[in-house]
Chain A
Amino acid sequence: MFLRIEKGSAVPISRQLAAQIEALVSAGNLAPGAKLPSVRELARQLAVNQNTVLRVYERLAREGLLDMRQGQGTFVAARPKGAALKGRRAKLAEELRQIARQGMALGLSPDELHELLSEVLAEPATQNHIAQIAAQQVAENPS
């Protein structure tokens, strides 16, 4: 699991870590049931206070994204709960809102913004990613 933190940013370290783990889970880079590094290990790897890492794991576990099993470690929840994903969706909507505002500020029309998004979606790298996620979903729900 590759995470990075930005020191001194206006975003607290715990929020930076939580957002990156959420992103890895929702992008499928961390599959359901996958084991995360221990609190100690991750704290050492990132040179971050163990209490900070523990708080992040606990919060994501409360939100249903992770599963902390006594004596075994921390895992991605088998089926991340709806609430956690809904939170991601709300965050994404906020990011899109900001992008839309930036686009307007650059003088782009709504049509031109739609066109830009379509271009990005059509790029080979994005297409590959979409195909990967679809394959994973088929593997998880074979029916």
Chain B
Amino acid sequence: MSAAIEMHAVDKAFRRQRVLADMSLKVEQGQTFAFLGRNGAGKTTTIRMLLGLLQRDAGAISVLGIDPAEDPLAIRARTGYLAEDQEMYGWMRVDEIIRFVAPFYGTWDHDLALKYVREFELPLAQKIKTLSKGQTVRLGLVLALAHRPELVILDDPALGLDPVMRRQFNRDLITHLQGEGRTVFYSSHLLYEVEPVADVVAILDGGRVVRQTDTETLRRDVKQFVLSSSALAAVRDDLAMLDLQHANDEAAVTVENAGAATALLGREGLEHRVVDLNLDEIFAAYVSGTIDQASAAPPSLAAVGEEEG
């Protein structure tokens, strides 16, 4: 099975600002791939490069076996794309925009478009500007899917949807995308939001993918250990630390090799407490974790003063 998307050592800068640095990722065919990062991490930049709308500075990209820098139109013909906060012609009616978009695609299936319109309960004769946010996203999906693309790229589609609409959107995604075996590349800034639907998640931080795996492995590997500062000192070289906080003579350390850490602490007979983290905490550990270099000594008066301040 060949990969649907592959990026290798990709760099991209805007003027002096480096957005992506040595970024690599791989999406297998048929996978639902969640692409996570904080706002401004480079998610949309990545998507625009996949579609050939932006050029990379270095590295290699392959989408459906095609280099987007060489033949972007071939990729766009086989890809469905739902942009973040998609702007549409507000004065058009739903049926008008469907007829307007159709001729752009050689494989457009008008009956399929109308079937989605019915399933999504979209009012054909209504002007786009009068649609709700949820209806607008669904109309965007109709336009992205009716040419039967092999690959669907969704840029933060749940942004601005309320919880009920988000669930409905996930359901649409499961029925119409996963159910039909399409590859889905789904960007979001909320790990817990993509968990129910994603096969694999990739976390983007500092211009590269810092972790790519499934959510169960992520939860098994990333845990917090609470132990004494002296116990930490004995094992810290073998911990893959994401975040470390000290309080009094205790340390709370979040690692991404929890299995090895548990085994090590057991072998050394060091007392510790393991805390299972939720997905928000795991995401935060990767994108905003800090290593607190405080010594093992009891807190100084200055440190206490700081806490109070």
Residues of A within 8 A of B (CB): 5, 7-14, 40, 43-44, 46-52
Q: Which residues of A contact B170 (CB under 8 A)?
A: 47
Say how far B273's CB is from chain A's closest CB, in angstroms. 14
Q: Which residues of B contact A12 (CB under 8 A)?
A: 215-216, 219
Q: Which residues of B contact A51 (CB under 8 A)?
A: 199
Knowing A8-B280, A10-B278 touch, does A48 contact B196 (C-beta < 8 A)?
Answer: yes
Say how far B168's CB is from chain A's closest CB, in angstroms. 8
User: How many Å lie between the Cα of A46 and that of B173 in the bound state?
Assistant: 12
User: How many Å lie between the Cα of A35 and that of B197 in the bound state?
Assistant: 25
Say how far B286's CB is from chain A's closest CB, in angstroms. 15
Q: Which residues of A contact B199 (CB under 8 A)?
A: 49, 51
B175 within 8 A of A: yes
Residues of B within 8 A of A (CB): 32, 167-168, 170-171, 174-175, 178-179, 191-193, 195-199, 215-216, 219, 276-280
User: How many Å lie between the Cα of A14 and that of B198 in the bound state?
Assistant: 13
Is there an interface contact between A8 and B192, defined as CB atoms closer than 8 Å?
Answer: yes
Knowing A44-B171, A50-B178 touch, does A10 contact B196 (C-beta < 8 A)?
Answer: no
Is there an interface contact between A40 and B278, defined as CB atoms closer than 8 Å?
Answer: no
A7 CB contact (under 8 Å) in B168, B171, B179, B192: B192
Q: A8-B191, A8-B279 are in contact. List 19 more A-B contacts (CB 8 A).
A: A5-B196, A7-B195, A8-B192, A8-B195, A8-B280, A10-B276, A12-B216, A13-B195, A13-B215, A43-B178, A44-B174, A44-B175, A47-B168, A47-B174, A48-B174, A49-B178, A50-B174, A51-B199, A52-B196
Is there an interface contact between A49 and B276, defined as CB atoms closer than 8 Å?
Answer: no
Say how far A18's CB is from chain B's closest CB, in angstroms. 12
Knowing A10-B278, A12-B219, A50-B174 touch, does A40 contact B196 (C-beta < 8 A)?
Answer: no
Closest to A46 in B: B196
Say how far B29's CB is from chain A's closest CB, in angstroms. 14
Q: Which residues of B contact A13 (CB under 8 A)?
A: 195-196, 215
User: How many Å lie between the Cα of A51 and that of B174 in the bound state?
Assistant: 10
